[in-house]
Amino acid sequence: MDLTLKIWRQKNSSAKGKFETYKVNDVSPDSSFFEMLDTLNQQIIETGNDPVAFDHDCREGICGTCSLYINGRPHGPKRGITTCQLHMRSFKTGDTIVIEPWRAKPFPIVKDLLVDRSALDLIIQAGGYVSVNTGGIPDANSIPVQKQKADLAMDAASCIGCGACVAACANASAMLFVGAKVSQLALLPQGKVEAADRVEKMVAMMDMLGFGNCSNTYACEAECPKEVKVTNIARMNRWFIRSKVGAEKPEAATYD
């Protein structure tokens, strides 16, 4: 496969960026998108120039660091995958591929395709944890959990915090991420004790960091590599309202 790549190059967060055009030839359709970028970088290095900076770690769809727009879509043209799981057979020879970093105010560009996604870590630090003493490790059957709630919690916990929901949203909203992280804890017995404080603190941090509100276009769900559902946003909103208006005491709230 012979491809034309239009890649965003930016020296640092304060520099002015621009698209630069590259050619890569004889790309195997079975190679991953990142292997193709590795090939490009090897070509660039051999000419004595600075390679394209992009983020990656596991290359197995687990870490969520591969934050790339590919032809205007987070993680590329396929659904339910991260960039590292995208293969070049999804394109055809002669294609022009436009590659950009996430575009959101809370995700400043570090260099080229690298963005700083630490804003999501700050949201987790605000309340995405269980701090009450839950004792030692209990027997698996000693804390009964309804299967429906256990399944919902597991689905929410599949979020890898990649930020594709933010990148896909017209308002750069992080509500799918926050809704998933709130849900995975508050749906389970260990997380219910702090459920009210958790949702207030995490939403407050999300707003403080400059993320937008939900646009209700479902773009976040459509582009999420783990297909986390927008029902987590609705659930988070219900819990937030309950907490704010005091309709239920935190210790009595059902959080379902």
Same structural domain for residues 103 and 130? no
Host domain of residue 220: 118-245
State which of 111, 126, 157 marks the end of a domain. 111
User: CA dist 160 to 78, 112, 118, 121, 210, Å?
Assistant: 17, 23, 13, 12, 21
Indicate the pLDDT class of residue 245, thresholds 50, 70 and 90. Answer: confident
Domain termination residue (choose one: 111, 127, 160): 111
Per-residue confidence (pLDDT) for residue 145, from 0 to 100: 86
131 and 233 co-located in one domain = yes
With CA atoms as reference, report the closest residue to 174 among 186, 160, 187, 164: 164
Same domain, 140 and 75: no
Burial of 216 (0-12, 13-18, 19+ CB in 10 A): exposed
Alpha-carbon distance of 44 to 25, in angstroms, equals 13
Looking up residue 196, the CATH number of its domain turns out to be 1.10.1060.10
Determine the average pLDDT of the residues in 183-211.
93
pLDDT of residue 238: 92
User: Quick one: 179 and 217 in the same domain?
Assistant: yes
**Residue 92: inside a domain, yes or no?**
yes
pLDDT at position 136 is 75
Residue 127 falls inside a structural domain: yes
Q: Which residues pair with 104 in a beta bridge?
A: 107
162 pLDDT more than 60: yes
Is 158 within the bounds of a domain? yes
Clarify whether residues 70 and 140 are in a common domain: no
Between the alpha carbon of residue 91 and those of residues 54, 69, 97, 200, 227, the distances in Å are 20, 15, 9, 44, 23
| 17 and 86 fall within a common domain | yes
The answer to whether residues 8 and 75 belong to one domain is yes
Residue 253 belongs to a domain: no
More confident residue, 180 or 256: 180
The whole-model pTM stands at: 0.91
Q: Are residues 104 and 123 both part of a single domain?
A: no
pLDDT for 248: 52
Same domain, 152 and 204: yes
Please check whether residues 165 and 208 belong to one and the same domain. yes
Of 77, 111, 145, which residue constitutes the final position of a domain?
A: 111
Q: Does residue 255 surpass a pLDDT of 80?
A: no
Query: Residue 140: what pLDDT?
Result: 64
Same domain, residue pair 65 and 130: no
Structural contact between residues 193 and 255, judged by C-beta atoms closer than 8 angstroms: no
CATH number of domain containing 37: 3.10.20.30
Task: Identify each DSSP E strand in 88-138 by its residue range.
Answer: 96-101, 109-111, 114-115
Q: Pairing mode, if any, of strands 114-115 and 109-111?
A: antiparallel
The pLDDT score that the predictor gives to residue 143 is 78
The answer on 124 and 38 residing in a single domain is no
Kindly report, residue by residue over 104-137, the tens digit of the pLDDT: 999 999 999 999 999 999 999 999 998 877 667 7
DSSP state of 95: -
* CA distances, 51 to each of 57, 76, 106, 182 (Å): 17, 21, 25, 39
pLDDT digits (tens, 9 = 90+) for 59-110: 989 999 988 999 999 999 999 999 999 999 999 999 999 999 999 999 999 9
39-45 long-range Cβ contacts below 8 angstroms, 24+ apart: 40/5
pLDDT surpasses 90 at 2: yes
